[in-house]
Structure 1
Amino acid sequence: MSKHNVVIVDDHQLFAGSLEGLVNSYPNYEVAYHTLNGKELIDKLEATNRTPDLILLDINMPIMNGIETMEWLKQNRPDVKVLALSMEDDEDTIIKMLRHGAKGYLLKDIEPLVFKQALDDVMNKGFYYSDKVSNTLLGSLDGGNSDRVKLKEREIEFLKLACTEKTYKEIAGEMFLSPKTIDGYREALFEKLEVRSRIGLVLYCIKNKIYRV
């Protein structure tokens, strides 16, 4: 069986080395190379003309960070699957990565078993999300939407705005609703879609083509 080709982009060499060892310990994955930042990755991609199956992309890096790198990948290598790596659960930054096409994110203190599940989910299902989410979110991308949650027009409008960089207060203003009403929309959708954060809402929208990256 051929192995999935993985590239690691991270300026912390000790962490990247440990991650490479972990990836290579899985029978169906193999690290092709490791770069220290986005610019090194782009140089390598352009020199080899070979696109990896999966890129593990750090967010905070010098010279060219994860968001800038994701923007380039979206324009130049839109088919490559990317998992964002983060030291902190910074919602705004992670949402930016998802809006630019990342298929999910991993905190760097993730358990090895969960890490392996994340790799498999991205390769087999198209997305990975660490929260407890519904089968709708993590279901096969080509599995149809027969089990998709029924959403009202105003809920869809709210979800589309939640995928932008607007604050909840700004969303309230745009929808001509009070912040308290927007809080109600958010909490109701958290329950309806079985997610616990704005990141979960964004991934649901991307998965179900409510918001297109």
Structure 2
Amino acid sequence: MRPVVTIVVVDDHSLFAQALENLINSFGEFKVLYHVKNGQEFVKKLAHIENVPDLAVIDINMPVMDGVETTRWLKKNYPTVNVIALSMDDDEPTIIRMLRAGARGYLLKDISPTILHDAFKDVIDKGFYYSNCITNHVLTSLHRGKEADHELKDREVEFLKLACTEMTYKEIAGAMCLSPKTIDGYRESLFEKLQIKSRVGLVIYAIKNKIYKPE
């Protein structure tokens, strides 16, 4: 029997946080230590070792210290704390920002309890959960590990690294001294080669294969 996994909820909506705590505690093998309203409150609580959880469920849009800043701080100071983003935002730039900061998963707040439970298990057992952001094809490519690195050309690797930033494709073209049309060609070629359908998928692939290291 696996030990109980401790969780902290970081969300500025108190009613939602309380409801989420009750749901998580009902799973049995997971236990919420406490919930806080923003990253700053979380940082203060972590000063005491008994308040350090296995996993943190973090909202993105919060006052004082938001989800991206909090995740970035955790990766630097408490790298053993796995972060899952739980947000209403499903736009690609926001997802990429959280992944770049070090989040191990990204979920939307309208998911079912079953998906939430599965996400917790996958992050603890496998180190990531990205099914809400990408297709099963991407997950398959991630499990291949580094073997696909050898199939990528130097310029494709350079493109992948830049795709992990907040630069637009047009800005990436400028940075690589290439035309936007050529950049589109790199993107479509990688989509086909890696069986990926979105920029989020490219970012996750780059992070999992250590082509890009989160901040």
Q: TM-score, normalised by structure 1?
A: 0.90
Note if contact 2:141-2:195 (Cα within 8 Å) is conserved in structure 1.
no
Whether 1:134 aligns to 2:135 is: no
Q: Give the structure 2 partner of residue 153 of structure 1.
A: 154
Provide the C-alpha distance between the structure 2 equivalents of 1:114 and 1:192, rounded to a whole number of angstroms.
29
Identity of aligned residues (%): 59
Give the count of matched residue pairs.
Answer: 209
Which sections of structure 1, spanning at least 5 residues, go unmatched? none
Whether 1:206 aligns to 2:211 is: no
Note if contact 1:3-1:30 (Cα within 8 Å) is conserved in structure 2.
yes
TM-align CA RMSD: 1.8
Give the drift of 1:145: 3.3
Residue deviations 1:9-67, cap 9 Å, x none?
A: 00112221222122112222111111111111111111345421100010001111111
SS at match of 1:127: coil
SS at match of 1:165: coil
Note if contact 1:70-1:100 (Cα within 8 Å) is conserved in structure 2.
yes
| Amino acid in structure 1 at the alignment position of 2:34 | Y
Provide the C-alpha distance between the structure 2 equivalents of 1:147 and 1:24, rounded to a whole number of angstroms.
40
SS at match of 2:89: coil
Q: Give the structure 1 partner of residue 6 of structure 2.
A: 5
Provide the C-alpha distance between the structure 1 equivalents of 2:17 and 2:114, rounded to a whole number of angstroms.
18
Structure 1 residues 134 and 73, CA, compared in 2 at 3 Å: closer, same or farther? closer
Provide the C-alpha distance between the structure 2 equivalents of 1:105 and 1:34, rounded to a whole number of angstroms.
19
Structure 1 residues 134 and 94, CA, compared in 2 at 3 Å: closer, same or farther? closer
Note if contact 2:145-2:209 (Cα within 8 Å) is conserved in structure 1.
no
Residue deviations 1:143-164, cap 9 Å, x none?
A: 8534667222221111011011
Q: Give the structure 1 partner of residue 19 of structure 2.
A: 18
Provide the C-alpha distance between the structure 2 equivalents of 1:115 and 1:169, rounded to a whole number of angstroms.
36
Provide the C-alpha distance between the structure 1 equivalents of 2:7 and 2:82, rounded to a whole number of angstroms.
10
SS at match of 1:8: strand
Q: 1:98-177 maps to which residues of 2 (within 5 A)?
A: 98-129=99-130, 130=132, 131-132=134-135, 133-137=138-142, 139=143, 145-146=146-147, 150-177=151-178
Structure 1 residues 33 and 50, CA, compared in 2 at 3 Å: closer, same or farther? closer
Note if contact 2:145-2:208 (Cα within 8 Å) is conserved in structure 1.
no
Note if contact 1:71-1:100 (Cα within 8 Å) is conserved in structure 2.
yes
Which sections of structure 2, spanning at least 5 residues, go unmatched? none
Give the drift of 1:199: 1.5
Provide the C-alpha distance between the structure 2 equivalents of 1:97 and 1:206, rounded to a whole number of angstroms.
12
| Amino acid in structure 1 at the alignment position of 2:207 | I
Note if contact 2:84-2:106 (Cα within 8 Å) is conserved in structure 1.
yes
Provide the C-alpha distance between the structure 2 equivalents of 1:103 and 1:67, rounded to a whole number of angstroms.
12
SS at match of 2:151: coil
Q: TM-score, normalised by structure 2?
A: 0.89
Whether 1:34 aligns to 2:39 is: no
Q: Give the structure 2 partner of residue 55 of structure 1.
A: 56
| Amino acid in structure 1 at the alignment position of 2:93 | D
